[in-house]
Chains A and B, each alone.
Chain A
Amino acid sequence: MLRRLLASGLLALSAASCQKQTEVERANEAGILLVGNSAEPKALDPQLVTGVIESKIIGALFEGLVADDPEDDSALPPGTAASWDHNEDMTEWVFQLRPEARWSDGHTVTAHDFVFAYHRMLSPDLAAPYAEMLYFIDKAEAYNKAEIDDFTQVGVRATDDFTLELRLREPVPFLPSLTRHYTWFPVPEHVVRRFGDMTERFTDWSEHPNLVGNGPFQLKEWRFHDVIEVERNPHYWNAADVGLNGIRFIPIENPYTEARAFLAGQLHTTYTLPPDLIDTMAEDYPEFLRQEPYVGTTFFRLNTTRPGFDDPKVRQAMSLSIDREALCEHILEGYTPARTFTPKMGTYEPEPVLDFDPEKARKLLADAGFPGGKGFPRYSMLISRPAARASAEAVQAMWREHLGILVDIQNMDWGSYISAQQSLEFDLASAGWIGDYLDPTTFLNMWTEGNGNNNTGWHNDRYEELLKQAALQADTEARHRLLAEAEAVLMEEQPILPVSWYSRNYLHRPEVKGWHPLLLDNHPWSAIRLEP
């Protein structure tokens, strides 16, 4: 009896498998891309979110003034704006919108929608967490901090339905590239107002089925924690060139689950790949494995108000005794050893200074009054992700071996880990930073005094002076020279110890075409095609 039951069960299973294609095969036929997207997005209102997860979906639903190029990070294909122009010192910009641009409900996208979006984003009452991204606009910061209350003073103006004028607080040569960030996207005034006041948070305007965007796709289905599906937006100005019929964003928080789902034919592309699976994948599935540079840096953040860490010599010594090559080879696979803090982007290339030199490190530590690590306080290093433990332990061993310094490792939940750093109640912490746009300032501005992301207790007048000078410089080459000089100051002082430059490791199916390595990893969904 039991045997018969088992046999018929197995038979049913194999029958099911024979008639069934994998989900990827079915999706290929339907022209739908299956994307692993890590977690459920907090919301889809581009003005109220801050995460990468949200940005992926928002990039399908909305479009900025300038679009992303599928192959070239520095290319600036027109988006909602057909053309743009600026004055000589790059402080005044005029964007000419294309008259054929439409919202997904058929309404025309106008310059007033952009003005409305920036007004809403900067309104203190909306409390948009990422409003800072618009501070490049003249008086935007003052308005956001309620120091002025007349929005007409802020440097945004629609001179007619299709002309948007921006007046900036300083020369911003990379403004077109910046407008590709979702914080610069327009929102549909007529829809936002239908569901509440301009400054009301989380109204239903950005929920299914109300959400209206101007991107190549529109929201089709939103099953909470399960799937977000988008379909072609028939009103998109370039709808004829959109290659996919739809995209399914599937939130899979566990990266191992995601990898299994990919190999079982349930995804076209994964959000990530755990480092310990890289070797196996390289061996068994080389056709799926992708490892690409990504603008981000892992580093150790030091609390420079702690005795010992307040001495740049000690910080230098700790940095010189980290064997970054070994770390990247054995633990942070796919990552490259950091030679400075800002990773290479465009024409910006700061002096590569970081080195591994234990002997020099010991000498510096002795000079600082801790020969052989004697008398150095025992500090603890905060980590918040299990994946950070291996490299933390390796560095812990390097410091003990080369400097005689003992450091403990303390694992904390995410919130406590963040709180501890923001209130300077920590010694040192393992951390990472991903750039928002392709300009070195996205890595350098955070180390200024009072910046909410600094959290080291360190600031330096010369450093800030150099950043200020760079901000006033419209010439890219001269600007980069000043920024590189600022970076040299940062690397001389080392309130942070850079370890490695990020790589994006993920699994990707070969039938997905139009998907190329990009530093910011913002693949324009409209350019992607499925060719099984």
Chain B
Amino acid sequence: MIRQILNRLGQGLLVLFVLFTLTFFLVRLLPTGPFKTERAIPEHIQAKMEAYYGLDQPLLVQYQRRLTNLVSGDLGSSLRLEGREVGEIIRQSFPVSLQLGLVAIMLAIAIGVPLGILAAWRKNSLIDYGAMALAMVGICIPSFVIGPLLADQFGRRLEVLPAMGWNPFSPVYWLLPAFTLGLISAAYLSRLTRAGMLETLNQDFVRTARAKGVGEARILFRHCLRGGLIPAVAYIGPAFAAVISGSLVIESIFAIPGLGTHFIKAMETGDEPVITGVVLLYGSLITLANIATDLLGLWLNPRLRTTG
């Protein structure tokens, strides 16, 4: 087991190295640059700025320098927000994305899983159709429609929740963005839970349990839930990584100081150190989330343990 984990971590490091190399060279292909401003910067000044950041060096020298710094833990500093360390940018904005993502995924689980169980339990009933229709709506309506509608309703009309902004200590600021962000995951979770539960409910051991007179609630929660959740759990890992890595749309709708905005801005301006920093962060997160999901899967599904 431990060997397995170490093995996966080793593979992860290799992935990160490849990611860094690819990103570093791909960014150079962008037709843009961090020193392009609306008002042209005179050439002699632009040349000075490039020299200041070592951008006048041959590409391989730059690559080698960045790689050496990276290994020693230095992500470099931003070219767009000059003077800001990439590490500092991530330290300031990632906790916001992480907190928002955690709240969103918890909301998604709290809404999606019970809805799925309910739908499976009352299969083909009004409850089932209602829950699944709701899920379909959640999947189909994009967050850039839901978000502004919610902000307008609760912010302007009812004046009960702020229409934008972020305060890590005040839940009123989390509710709308987290709900908007978590909605699509909630929808998927409810459908996956429903499917998983239905499959388990159709198994022989459930029939046996019923025949032995076991109560519905006990069958549902004691016998079926663990097996029925397997598809949902497999989804939660990657969804979690995606959700905490910052959503540009949500951040823009609610003016949240998260990581997504930095990433897009960096892409627009060819700010290589920030792009690489964020790509590496996402890469590590997804690698870790996948390992965690696999472990959770092992715990939920004993069959995997013997074959693994």
Interface residues of A (CB under 8 A from B): 13-14, 16-17, 22-23, 40, 42-43, 48, 50-51, 124-125, 127-132, 144-146, 201-203, 223-226, 250-254, 256-258, 260-261, 263-266, 413-416, 418-420, 422, 451-453, 455
Contacts and interface: CB of A to CB of B under 8 A. Distances in A.
Interface in B158-193: 158-166, 172
Contact of B257 (A128, A224, A256, A414): A224
Interface of B: 30-33, 35-46, 48-49, 52, 80-83, 89, 92-93, 148, 151-152, 155-156, 158-166, 172, 252-255, 257, 261-262, 268-270
Top 10 A-B pairs, shortest CB-CB distance: A415-B32, A202-B83, A452-B40, A264-B155, A225-B257, A127-B48, A264-B163, A17-B160, A418-B36, A260-B163
B259 to A, nearest CB: 10
A268 B56 CA distance: 46
B268 to A, nearest CB: 5
A253 B42 contact: no
Contact of B30 (A22, A132, A226, A415): A415
Nearest to B152: A260
A419 B36 contact: yes
A201 B83 contact: yes
Nearest to B163: A264
A263 B162 CA distance: 10
B33 A202 contact: no
B169 to A, nearest CB: 13
A201 B161 CA distance: 42
Contacts of A258: 164, 255
Nearest to A206: B83
A419 B152 contact: no
Contact of B82 (A40, A48, A125, A264): A48
Nearest to B43: A452
Contacts of B42: 131-132, 452
B31 A419 contact: yes
Contacts of B262: 225
A174 B253 CA distance: 43
A250 B164 CA distance: 11
Contacts, number: 153
A256 B160 contact: no
User: Chain B interface mostly helix, strand, loop or mixed?
Assistant: loop
User: Chain A interface mostly helix, strand, loop or mixed?
Assistant: loop
B144 to A, nearest CB: 10
A23 B269 CA distance: 34
B163 A131 contact: no
A43 B38 CA distance: 17
A261 B36 contact: no
B39 to A, nearest CB: 6
Contact of B155 (A252, A260, A419): A260
Contacts of B39: 50, 129-130, 452-453
A253 B261 contact: yes
A253 B255 contact: yes
A13 B15 CA distance: 46
A263 B49 CA distance: 42
A256 B145 CA distance: 12
Nearest to A21: B159
B255 A251 contact: yes
Nearest to A454: B40
Given A225-B261, A254-B252, A260 B151 contact: yes
